[in-house]
Amino acid sequence: MKVLVPVKRVIDYNVKVRVKPDQTGVDLANVKMSMNPFDEIATEEAVRLKEKGVATEVVVVSIGPQQAQETIRTALAMGADRGILIVTDQDAEPLAVAKLLKAVIAEESPNLVVMGKQAIDGDNNAVGQMLAALLDWPQATFASKLEVTADKATVTREIDGGLQTLDVSLPAVITADLRLNEPRYASLPNIMKAKKKEIAMKTAADYGVDVSPKLKVLKVTEPPKRSAGIKVADAAELVGKLKSEGVL
């Protein structure tokens, strides 16, 4: 069984994001970049499937600049077998990403796609669903538990009312939620081994996919700063303040 894991290079979640002075976007200069946390969880889950003997190969694919090789190397150090980088300087929109992944899947023929439920930069939460629709494959989103056999996957997913368990036939698309697992730290020997693993370099043109943006960003601004709170002496004063602010 082959498992495909898409991964994305994003600003590290510990970094405070800064907006460019001209408000055209987010400032990426001298900013630490890392693998999207949800993709890291997806990679860990795929590697665990391989360790259990369920999967035979884990292939990671990323779409982005040349520096995204570092993100793929991180996944390889965690235990993935090889990588594919589709080089583009465009910030590909979700539909373009889904179309590129569909083209990769047509070449690789994986039995399962495991991916993060969303990227923390755009927070679109759309690629997994779009990819499943383009492939006409079953999907299970927001997975907090995953069990895979030869022909089906059993997924426990988090919903507003609690937990929902689904059986989906393979091939399928699964998107990983935060509580699916705790990703491992790559050991130094595995980091060294990852440097020798294969990363195939491709372009969007190789797959015949147009990644030019269909949306135009007019302006990016920081959220308004929160004003300081006030202390109240008792519940009566609290209720009075809430009434004066029109909350009650």
What mean pLDDT value characterizes the chain?
A: 93
DSSP 120: T
Residue 217 confidence (pLDDT): 86
pLDDT tens, residue by residue, 71-85:
999 999 999 999 999
Give me the helices (H) in the chain, please: 37-51, 68-78, 94-108, 127-135, 188-194, 235-244
The answer to whether 156 and 164 have CB atoms below 8 angstroms apart is yes
Q: How far apart are CA 47 and CA 43, in angstroms?
A: 6
pLDDT tens, residue by residue, 119-168:
998 899 999 999 999 999 999 999 999 999 989 999 999 888 889 999 99
Supply the angle between the helices 37-51 and 68-78 in degrees, to the nearest 10.
30
DSSP β-bridge partners for residue 152: 169
Q: Which of 140, 145, 213, 131 is nearest to 179 (CA)?
A: 145
CA angle 83, 9, 186 (to 5 degrees): 65
Residue 41 confidence (pLDDT): 97
Q: How far apart are CA 122 and CA 125, in angstroms?
A: 8
Which residue carries 């083209």 as its tokens? 103
Residue 206 confidence (pLDDT): 94
Rounded percentage of the chain residues whose pLDDT exceeds 90? 72
SS3 for 113? strand
**Domains parsed from the chain with CATH numbers:** 2-244 (3.40.50.620)
Using pLDDT thresholds of 50, 70 and 90, give the confidence band for residue 62.
very high
**Per the structure block, which two tokens stand in for 214?**
């269909």
pLDDT (mean) for 30-56: 95
Q: Is the dihedral of CA 165, 170, 175, 177 positive or negative?
A: positive
Which residue carries 């002075």 as its tokens? 21
Using pLDDT thresholds of 50, 70 and 90, give the confidence band for residue 247.
confident
Number of Cβ atoms within 10 Å of the Cβ of 128: 27
Residue 224 confidence (pLDDT): 84
Residue 153 confidence (pLDDT): 95
SS3 for 56? coil
SS3 for 47? helix
91 has a pLDDT exceeding 90: no
pLDDT (mean) for 231-242: 90
